[in-house]
Structure 1
Amino acid sequence: MEDIKMTSTKALYAKLKPELDAAFSAVMASMGMEERPQVQAFAESIATHLQVPHATPCANGTDALQLALLSLQLPAGTEVILPAFGHEAIAATVAGVGLQPVFADVDMQTFTLDPASVERYITPATGAILAVHQFGQCAPMQELLALAQKYKLWLVEDVTQALGAIYVGEDEKERKAGAIGHVGYTSFFPTKPLLDSGEGGAAFTRQSELAERMLQITRNGMDGKYTFNSRLDTLQAAMLDVKIKYVEEYNEARQEIARFYDNAFAESELVQAPHRATYSSQIYHQYTIKVAPEVRNGLQQHLSDNFIPSAIYYPHPLHLLEKYTSGKYKPGDFPVAELLSQSVLSLPMHSELKEDQLGYICRHVLTYVKQRG
């Protein structure tokens, strides 16, 4: 059996090598650093994929979130509501552009923002809701859009883990994640769905006014008092323009892997497989199980001892990190986020996993939880 990897970019590079090498050669032959035609081509490709009219590439996902937020022209100190269960970098970026992160709890099944919790934290100072499509599945956008309309707020979509996911509202119309809110952004870091070999990001919108602001920010390098100098590398753009043609194929392959996991864990009451929301497809950026908190850390160590990688996303609820509490939050404020931080574990998930590897992973998970059950 081959070594098990948490993710796999090398094998996918081998599959696309002829196209990627040709794109690399075209960039080096043209040396069109000023014209940057590859960046424009990729901007058009991702806009087409997301079914939005405007997309602005930039250097990385953090810059893409900054660009999305700056385009909204929110006054300094404006509150932005985001999930307490998530990556600290999101809260840090919100604070970094002079806005105030405010947290809300998440749904126990989907790990995404709970609209009821969001509404409890809306104040006159609130300017935006930041919905993270966690682990590859959309947040409940219809309910969040209703809140945004009711309180006259912006709705920002984080698509870094859900590129290609499809949302279906009550009107039964299918929309791509990132094309539902007012503005969205994504990252092309190697661990993300597009599996780039370097950095990169993009912000996108259906609103021409926001798109024009983003373009002005990236061209002028300045928005008010914030310096912004972030451009997607030409070579990365060329590589991404190849890979975006295969994003659906990547997603379908991960969904097939997820079905193997689902079947393996179906009869166990000790392992909860990822929930599939009725309103969204699930592209399984991560395959994240839930186990009893007293079992989780031991299970991770057991897997490591048997050469199986795993990851804990996220071990610390954001509202309990000292830099964000400011006396405002305390343990117990967001019980779901707190419980998830103690009970989730992400297993290897990528399109190149083989059946013998998956069987080996599942056997070790089930054996351990049964012994400790």
Structure 2
Amino acid sequence: MSVPFFELTRQYARLKEELNLPVLKVLSSGMYIDGEVLDAFERNFAAYCNTKYAVGVGSGTDALIISMRALDIGAGDEVIIPSFTFFATGEAVANVGATPIFADVDMDTMCILPESIEKKLSAKTRAIIPVHLFGHPAPMDEINRIAAQNELYIIEDACQSAGASLDGHKTGSLGTTGAFSFFPTKNLGAAGDGGIITTNNQDIALKSRKFGSHGATKKYQNEMLGYNSRLDSIQAKILDIKLAHLDQFNEQRRENARLYNKFLADVEQIKLPVESTCAYHIYHQYTIRVLDGQRDELVQFLKEQDIGVAIYYPVPVHRLGPFVGCADEKDLPNTNQLAEEVVSLPIFPELNPDEIEQVAHQIKRFFAL
């Protein structure tokens, strides 16, 4: 049995009766940028995250960049981030002129370690960007303590964590700002690119909106250099409809994770994902660790069996082109080890139990060879 890593058409088939007419109505309206459709989604997403404000932007990367611009972070500043993350986290810091400082991550949650953050603090540190990696919340209590003691901003990279929570508080509401991505394969995915910034600070929200619209709040009254970064009305309508299903999508991902945990519990050669106490993991990815240097062989074997898998991430950010030489390797042992061990299995909500069992069967078969 073939098992896809992700299949977007299954979710569309499930929702098309809800999606088609409202999207056509937006098309018929001629209002494709800004307007009530976007306003409604921003209100609803802010309410979902329990924040006062949400500002739609063009992507999750833009959400990170514009958050930093709104906080006046730039040249001469340092921002502490994990190296075990997608490139965009470091890229966003560098693109505002600041310097990313790479911290290590926890071997179990794969999220940034508070003790590593503390070791990286300097007089130039302005902010911390914790990444809620693969849908598991970062340890925000400790991170908020560090930020408060050192007068730092927290920009949550929540691009993989729409609906995740810690002690009942949604990601995106746990820092100064939250940056979300609506890339199509995310837990809340658009039919194209999109992103949003959440915050409880009105001034940050207003500045973020201004930066996303060429530095202007009134047409032809540009006050600063900004960006062309907006969430269009068609994507906003799609996302608003899907938002009503997000908790169900996330619960289905969690059920898929429970099945994997059941089927793979006795495989000694791998480590399964964990869910920390008080954390609500929404499994954007179900990422296992393959021990004893067998990861690449397992990946090749699964691909030969027509099982879709992916490696997130094979190269830590500090080892990628623009950042080579910017970190001390001895400070990032967990990051480097995870890059050699991780592989993500299919986990999307529409996956069926037989497919999950097939993936688990093939993994067991590999280790029995």
Instruction: Bin the TM-score by the shorter chain.
Output: over 0.9
Match of 1:353 among 342, 351, 354: 351
Cα distance change, pair 267–81 in 1 and its aligned pair in 2 (3 A): same
Q: 1:224 deviation in Å?
A: 7.8
SS in 2 for 1:132: coil
Which moved further from structure 2: 297-306 or 14-23?
14-23
Equivalent position SS for 2:149 = helix
In 2, Cα distance between equivalents of 1:293 and 1:225 = 53
The alignment partner of 2:112 has SS state of: coil
Q: After superposition, give the CA deviation of every residue in 1:310-363 in whole Å (9 maximum; x if it has no partner).
A: 01111112223342134x424333000000000010001111112221111101
- State which of 333, 337, 342 in structure 2 corresponds to 1:344: 342
Most deviating of 70-79 and 127-136: 70-79
Partner residue, 2:236 = 237
The answer to whether the Cα contact below 8 Å between 1:131 and 1:139 also exists between their aligned partners in 2 is yes
Relative to structure 1, is the Cα distance of residues 296 and 153 closer, same or farther in structure 2, using a 3 angstrom cutoff?
same
Given the superposition, is the C-alpha separation of residues 363 and 33 from structure 1 closer, same or farther in structure 2, using an over 3 Å criterion?
closer
Residue 39, structure 1, aligned to residue 33, structure 2: no
The number of residues matched between the two structures is 364
> In the alignment, which residue of structure 2 is the partner of 1:188?
182
Q: What corresponds to 1:334 in structure 2?
A: 332
Q: Distance in 2 between matches of 1:34 and 1:321?
A: 36
Residue in structure 2 matched with residue 221 of structure 1 by the alignment = 215
Is the alpha carbon distance of 1:322 and 1:232 closer, same or farther for their aligned partners in structure 2, counting shifts above 3 Å? Answer: closer
Find the counterpart in structure 2 of residue 151 from structure 1: 150
Give the Å deviation of 1:101.
0.6
Taking the aligned partners of 2:319 and 2:352, their CA distance within structure 1 comes to 39
Question: For residue 344 of structure 2, what is the amino acid of its counterpart?
Answer: S
Task: Tell me the residue number matched to 2:204.
Answer: 210
Structure 2 length-normalised TM: 0.95
Q: Is the 8 A contact 1:320 1:331 kept in 2?
A: no
Which residue of 1 is the match for residue 47 of structure 2?
48
How far did 1:195 drift?
Answer: 2.5
Question: Does 314-323 or 125-134 show the bigger shift?
Answer: 314-323
| Farther off after superposition, 345-354 or 127-136 | 345-354
| CA spacing shift, 1:263–1:34, aligned 2, 3 Å | closer
Return the alpha-carbon distance in structure 1 between the equivalents of residues 34 and 303 of structure 2: 48
State the 1:35 CA deviation: 5.6
**Equivalent in the alignment of 1:171:** none
- Distance of 2:204 and 2:329 partners within structure 1: 38
Q: Deviations over 1:69-119 (max 9, x none)?
A: 111112422100000111112111110111111100000100000000000
Secondary structure of residue in 1 paired with 2:129: strand
* Equivalence for 1:297: 296
Alignment of 1:33-182 (within 5 A): 33=32, 36-168=35-167, 174-182=168-176
Q: Percent identity?
A: 35
More deviation, 110-119/287-296:
287-296
Contact 1:261/1:358 (8 A) holds in 2? yes
Q: Which runs of 5+ in 2 are unaligned?
A: 217-221
Residue 225 of structure 1: how far off its partner (Å): 6.7
CA distance in 2, matches of 1:35, 1:114: 39
CA distance in 1, matches of 2:225, 2:133: 29
Which amino acid letter does the alignment assign opposite residue 345 of structure 1? V
Between the aligned partners of 1:177 and 1:220, the Cα distance in structure 2 is: 28
C-alpha contact (below 8 Å) 2:213/2:230 kept by paired residues: no
Say which SS state the counterpart of residue 251 (structure 2) adopts: helix
Identify if the C-alpha distance between structure 1 residues 77 and 370 changes in structure 2 by more than 3 Å, giving closer, same or farther: farther
Segment of structure 1 superposing worse, 26-35 or 227-236? 26-35
Letter in 1 for 2:193: E
Which letter maps to 1:67?
I
Partner Cα separation in structure 1 for residue 224 and residue 39 of structure 2 = 27
CA distances 1:98-157 after superposition (whole Å, capped 9, x unpaired): 111110000010000000000000000000000100001100000000000011100110
Q: Which amino acid aligns with 1:229?
A: N
Note the aligned Cα RMSD (angstroms): 1.6
